[in-house]
Each structure stands twice: as C-alpha cells, then as structure tokens.
Amino acid sequence: MKNITKLIIIFILFVFSININAQNIIHYNLYPQNNYLYNPATTGENPWLTAFVNSHLQWVGFEGAPRVNTFGIHSPITKKMGIGLNILNSKHSIFNYLNAKLSYSYKLNFAKDNFLRFGISAGVINNSVAFSNAVNYDLSDTKQINSDYNLTGFAASAGLFYKFKNLEIHASLPQLYELDETSLYVISSVGYDLLAQKPVWDLKPSVMIKASETGTAQFDINLTAMWNKTFWANLAYRTNKSFIVGFGINYKNIGLGYAFELNPAPMNKMANGTHEIQLIVNFGKNFFKNRILKEDIIIAKKDTTKIKVTEIENNNKVVKSDTTKSNGNSNKTNIVKTTAKDSIQKQKKIERERVIKSTAILGNLEFETGTSKLTPKSYATLDGLIKTLKENSSAKIEIAGHSDNIGSKEINKRISKNRAKICTDYIISKGIPANRVKAIGYGKSKSLVSNNSRTNRAKNRRVEFKIID
C-alpha cells in the first residue's frame, strides 16, 4: 500500500508539472536591473553587446527545491533593431525544464526620449521527468516507474517596451506558445525615475503585475536607489507575503547584484529563503557602431575658420593660387599669377587643407545628467572627428568637457573631465596617438546658456574640441 501511494504521488507531481508548465514563470528578483529576463522587447536596448548570467536558488535548504540558471546575450544590429539569445534551465526534484530562444526587437521613435519597442522570441523547450532517479525507500519494491518522460517542442514569447522621458512601461507574454498550447500569462510593469536630473542620486519606484487567465494576480512593489550610477539597493514586497532585499555594484563594464527573498510562512520554517545572484558584462560601448551610426560632426561655433589652398605648380614656380576663407557669412577669393611664360609643361596639382586654431562644439554628443555615459549617436560624431584627425596627421586637439549647474562644483568638474576622457580614450583606441589628444574638464564654469530649463542644461552638458597645434 505504501509503494502504491508513493507511485500515485509521483504521478500527480508529474501531471501537475506538465499541465501547469505554461504558467510556471520564474519569479526573478533582480529583474529591475535586467528587464531582458522577462521582456524580449528590450533586446538590444543598450548600444553595446550585453551578456549576463543569473542564478536563482529557491527555498535553500529544502530538498528538491527549484534551481534556475539563466544565460542571455543581446546587442543592437542597427539603430532600430536588436537580436539576442536567452537560455533557461530549471530543475526541481526529478523534473527538468530547458528553454532556448532567439529574440528580436524593433524600435519606433516618436521624439527624443519617447519611443516604443516591439519584441518577439522563438525557440525550443524540453520538458523531462527522470523517474529512474526517484528515491526508492523500499528496495524490495518491483513496481517502480523506470521509464523517463521527455518532450521537446516549439516555444514563443512577445513583449512591448514604451519609454516617455522618465516613465517606463513593460508588457510581455513570456510563454505565449509552448508545446502546442497558448498561455495568456501576462507580466506588466511600470517604473518612474524620480531623480533623473540629479547627478548623484537616482530613485526609481516600480510596480509589476503577473496575471494569468486562470490564476490570481501577483504584485511586486519595488523601490530602487542608486548612488553615483555605481552602488544600488532594492527593496520589494510581493503579494504572496514575501519581502525582497537586493544590492549591487556597477563598475566600468561589469554589474554584480544579489537579492534575498524571505519566504512566506510556513515555507520560511522549512527553508532558508531564496537567493539570487546576477552578473552582467557589457562588451564595449561601441560594439556595432559602424553599422548603427553614420552621422557627421557638426561645427557649431561661428568663429570656426577653414582654409583650403589649391596651388598649381609649373617648373617649381607658382602659376595660380586659389584661397577660400569662410568666417561667419564672409567668403573671399584671391587669385595670384606669376610672370612665368612657360605654361605648356607638365603641371602638378597640390591640394591641402588646413584648420585654423579655433573652438568647435562636437555636435550630437549627448550625456545623461550626472554621468559620463554617451548615447549611441555620440560615437558616430567621434568617428567623424577621428576621420578628420587622420586626414590632418599633424594636428593636435584638446577635448574639453562641460556640465550643467546641477550638483557641486567638485562633482561637476569630475564628471566633465570624465566626459572628455571617455572621448579621448575612444579616439586613441581608433589609432590616433595619445600625444595628439588632450582631455580637460571645466565643470559648470563655462556655460553656453543659462541653466534655467532642461533644454538649456542639455546644451551645457557638452564636449568641445580645439586645435592646439
């Protein structure tokens, strides 16, 4: 009787696992730092290649508790499109779930800081139950289930991501189609950056809802605080009466986070909580820049002077010289002729360009308030400057960073220096000798316009270059 009861329990678990798989969503705790865990619409959201590993250990100390490991990698391929790969493996007791999907996203721009991304993902899943690994407490029992269960099929997901200034809205169907079944399990979230204009602190509350056509909706209420774009902490309450505490650090291209979930009673009496750790690595902030961005430098100062000299030499004597000078709205052409009579010999044409010492704003260089993080189109601007430097191999320039007036003098000076340095580092990485590029930060001391509006502050968060030799 005991053996029959055990077999019935195993069979019920098996059927339960297969039938509810379409709603067996992983309850990640570090998704505020990595929306790609749930939403394929965020594929390629960053302007560089991003890879991550997430390990979710549920009910630590409870035998057979779920263990979920997730790996993902995604990147933009054009200004509007991104591709990625997500692999998830979930194990609990004798049950195993493997999910591997390719993802794609497309972006519709409405205005600056106002866009909508669509995302889809598709791939294969595998459900298996290893009955042969079930523990047999009665060695004399000959009625065990020894044949394992294994089923592989197609899976698809879809999502939307809308951003308007400081507001973010996500909606996804993470298990839209699996193994010939559709599921209307919906995950939606709304987040708002309260301190977007603050240079040091960032505070972002958010709410997530998970709901299905047959189950009860579950809410997560989150609050994430970040200092200096480096250290962050997160506090959340889940309506299954769980509390989540997380913290982490972002250093250069690496992000590391940890979250602990205190399980609701009575599970907290049988297990030691749920632990989750996540590593995110950004491989270069210009990974596909040559495909994505093809914009030119904009020279914005009126005192910029460019001289083009064309000389025609005849027997080492100047026969004709044309010089065109542009300064503001003035244009002037001078023609100089020599008295040389021999004009039928072979002529040699020499062209050269020379840029007079002047200061010019690097157009399309944009930074977030309080950071030295460049937007994607900024790298195209720098590529144009690099091309100019390569064509004028002896020119030396100074890259000067500037900030708005939000924050202390010391912080703004440091941020502006970092803004200049990130530009010079990129220029040097493209083959321009370091002795030809100099970085300096002026902070908020040289504003172009008054810092009385968001638009004006954006103009003051700029980088200029100046020919110094």
The model's pLDDT over 71-83, given as tens digits with 9 standing for 90+, comes to 999 999 988 999 9
Angle 115-365-374 (CA atoms, 0-180°, nearest 5)?
70
The single-letter code of the amino acid at 89 is N
The model's pLDDT over 240-292, given as tens digits with 9 standing for 90+, comes to 888 999 999 998 889 999 999 987 766 666 778 899 999 999 886 444 433 33
- Any domain includes 456: yes
Tell which phi-psi region holds residue 142, choosing left (phi > 0), alpha (psi between -120 and 50) or beta: alpha
99 and 167 in a single domain? The answer is yes
More confident position, 434 or 53: 53
Are the CB atoms for 392 and 462 separated by under 8 Å? no
With the C-alpha atoms ordered 292, 294, 300, 306, is the resulting torsion angle positive or negative? positive
Please state, in angstroms and as integers, the Cα–Cα distance from residue 428 to each residue in 291, 366, 377, 422, 425, following that order. 20, 20, 19, 10, 5
- Any domain includes 7: no
CATH number at residue 186: 2.40.160.60
The model's pLDDT over 180-216, given as tens digits with 9 standing for 90+, comes to 788 788 999 999 988 766 667 889 999 999 988 777 7
CATH number at residue 418: 3.30.1330.60
81 and 227 in a single domain? The answer is yes
Euclidean distance between CA atoms 167 and 308, whole angstroms:
49
Neighbour tally for 1: CB within 10 Å: 5
Residue 403 has pLDDT above 70, yes or no: yes
344 and 425 in a single domain? The answer is no
Nearest-10 crossing angle of helices 376-391, 409-429 = 60
273 and 398 in a single domain? The answer is no
Query: Where does the pLDDT of residue 7 fall: very low under 50, low under 70, confident under 90, or very high at 90 and above?
Result: very low
344 and 428 in a single domain? The answer is no
363 and 225 in a single domain? The answer is no
- Any domain includes 457: yes
- Any domain includes 12: no
- Any domain includes 20: no
Residue 2 has pLDDT above 60, yes or no: no
DSSP 8-state symbol, 468:
-
325 and 412 in a single domain? The answer is no
- Any domain includes 22: no
User: CB neighbours of 222 closer than 8 A, spacing ≥ 6?
Assistant: 32, 191, 205, 206, 207, 208, 234, 235, 236
151 and 166 in a single domain? The answer is yes
Q: What are phi and psi of 220, to 5 degrees?
A: -115, 130
DSSP per residue over 417-454, as a string?
Answer: HHHHHHHHHHHHHTT--GGGEEEEE-TTTT-SS-SSSH
391 and 448 in a single domain? The answer is yes
pLDDT of residue 325: 41
Number of domains in the chain: 3
278 and 416 in a single domain? The answer is no
240 and 146 in a single domain? The answer is yes
pTM here?
Answer: 0.58
- Any domain includes 1: no
427 and 395 in a single domain? The answer is yes
Q: Indicate the average pLDDT of the chain.
A: 75
- DSSP SS3 for 376: helix
Euclidean distance between CA atoms 334 and 320, whole angstroms:
10
Share of the chain above pLDDT 70, in %: 69
- Any domain includes 170: yes
pLDDT of residue 55: 96
**Containing structural domain, residue 337:** 306-351
